[in-house]
Chains A and B, each alone.
Chain A
Amino acid sequence: MVSAVFHSPRESATPPDTMKKVAASACQESAGGQKNPQKPPRDWAAASRAFWLAVLPPACGLGLLLGLWALVASTTGQSIPGPLQTWAQAVEVFSDPFYRNGPNDQGVGWNVLASLQRVAIGFGLAAAVGIPAGFLIGRFAFLSRMCNPIISLLRPVSPLAWLPIGLLVFKGANPAAIWTIFICSIWPMVINTAVGVQRVPQDYMNVARVLNLSEWKIATTILFPAVLPYLLTGVRLAVGTAWLVIVAAEMLTGGVGIGFWVWDEWNNLNVRNILIAIFVIGGVGLLLELALVQLASAFTYEEVKS
């Protein structure tokens, strides 16, 4: 029950960078000892090299994407608009993101906010249920064995398969979409929290036993901090899934939302807006992910070594 998280290349590029820094500072120390005057030019070279390594590859990647897009656009005879036309349309769309012309024609800003609100409510409910459930499942073997078959059975179900149940029970499109978000984002949080609790090092639990700490004190000072990195991984996965699912759910339920907007523009045959929507969805997803990575790194502690 290990959940993989995709780490951005920037993260994995950090260790060589820091190693370089360490090596550089070591060089500086020895250089300082020998009064070597050649230090500043080498620093500049290293800095510019680091800058280009950070900027050039992503720029190449984006350039490749734009090139492929332009190629596809020109070969399909403008049925798919090219980057320039889409850019022109995007400027127009984003010049007035918060207009309202009736319930089915609202600015892209309102649509994004409506989707985010659904994700926030569905995800918030899932966290409120899933995280405590994960703690209990991780702490008590009986509960773990009891819940394992349920989780194994329900977790692989496509989130959209839950939508009819939501419509039936809640008799409304909006609560049904929130229900779908809830049910698909609860599993990563339950599973990662439970695994985190099960993997709390025995050493920490021995400390708790020698000190005879109360169950409440164990939960707050040992279990919660030890589980936090796992929990945040679960949260990241859950938010990612929720954002994937909301688009599909809104296509089916309608109303206001970025997914509905995509479907509406498809009915209008406005492909440029669909392309803009794809970038908006990607951008918002990226921002959510970055925010959670920042949060996770602030709460991850060095493991016990030696």
Chain B
Amino acid sequence: MSNPAKFIDIQGVAQTFKTAKGAFPALKDIDLGIAQGEFVALIGHSGCGKSTLLNLIAGLAAPTSGVLLCANKEIKGPGPERAVVFQNHSLLPWLTCEGNIHLAVERVFGARESKAQLRQRTEAALALVGLAHAAHKRPGEISGGMKQRVGIARALSMEPQVLLMDEPFGALDALTRAKLQDELLDIVARTRSTVIMVTHDVDEAVLLSDKIVMLTNGPGATIGEVLHIDLPRPRERLALAEDARYAHCRKAVIDFLYTRQGHVEKA
């Protein structure tokens, strides 16, 4: 790799959607480099194109112009090396939790490993998110927080180079969200994954990330500011609450979101 700071390299990306009312420019002039092992939060107002940018990195959509590279290769479509944790967990309701994870494990490692090894990987992924006891339950039988954990386990079980998360905790209550954030910090520290997470939540962004990418308001959103969070890890939620640097980072993001990008233009 030529430039370790640009494991994911986004160059001059723009995305325009064709709508009934004509072309809608969602994103323009996006330039961003993300290093391996970095935890990046994408934050911005609703509808500013955070999820669009994530979908571009996932390869679920192709940019109108510009290039996205991952490990020096152009992103041409979705693939298991860039696992996605969807906003609404997207588990298949007819498979058990185990079955949902096994589908991913089988796809990624099925060609190389024995059935016993695949089973072991599935079980390990469930244990990682503390759901070994729910292996044989279907998604309809478990709570929203548990479903989201299975979604995360599915993504992690693929041992992806990049973990893409689209507001993974958005639909959860505050307590469950805090618990899952702590678990995620733990897991990422152990697996050293590169993570890109879309979020609305300022505290979540500051607590989890190494770098917060703030998007301006759409239409034609672009990167307004990049804030580096150099709080030491492991991070403790309680200790950080009184940390001056934490408060400073938090204030910087809030200042950007509410003072400088406070007026949401009417589309």
Contact = CB atoms under 8 A, between A and B. Distances in A.
B80 A211 contact: yes
Interface string B84-128: 101011111111000000011001100000000000000000000
Nearest to B79: A212
Nearest to B138: A301
A209 B91 contact: no
- The interface residues of chain B, by DSSP majority, are classed as loop
A206 B84 CA distance: 9
Contacts of A226: 94
B92 A204 contact: yes
A211 B93 contact: no
Interface in B62-82: 77-80, 82
Interface in A261-306: 301-304, 306
A211 B78 CA distance: 8
B77 A209 contact: yes
A110 B210 CA distance: 78
Contacts of B94: 225-226, 301
B139 A204 contact: no
A213 interface: yes
Nearest to B77: A209
Nearest to B103: A221
Contacts of B158: 211
A206 B60 contact: yes
A203 B91 CA distance: 9
Given A302-B140, A306-B171, A209 B78 contact: yes
B107 A203 contact: no
- The interface residues of chain A, by DSSP majority, are classed as helix
A153 interface: no
Interface residues of A, number: 19
B43 interface: no
A211 B90 contact: no
Contact of A207 (B92, B147, B171): B92
Contacts of A125: none
Given A225-B94, A302-B140, A306-B144, A210 B89 contact: no
B93 A304 contact: yes
A219 interface: no
B83 interface: yes
Nearest to A213: B107
Nearest to B160: A210
Contacts of A212: 78-80, 107
Contact of A211 (B60, B86, B103, B139): B103
A225 B96 CA distance: 13
Given A206-B84, A211-B103, A221-B103, A304 B90 contact: yes
A221 B93 contact: no
Contacts of A210: 58, 60, 78-80, 82-84
B166 to A, nearest CB: 10
16 contacts: A204-B90, A206-B60, A206-B86, A207-B86, A207-B90, A209-B60, A210-B58, A210-B60, A210-B78, A210-B82, A210-B84, A211-B108, A213-B107, A217-B107, A306-B88, A306-B144
The 10 A-B pairs at the shortest CB distance, nearest first, are namely: A302-B140, A203-B90, A301-B93, A225-B94, A209-B78, A210-B78, A306-B171, A211-B107, A301-B94, A210-B84
Interface of B: 58, 60, 77-80, 82-84, 86, 88-95, 103-104, 107-108, 138-140, 144, 147, 158, 171
Given A221-B95, A306-B144, 6 more contacts: A207-B90, A209-B60, A211-B80, A211-B108, A301-B93, A302-B140
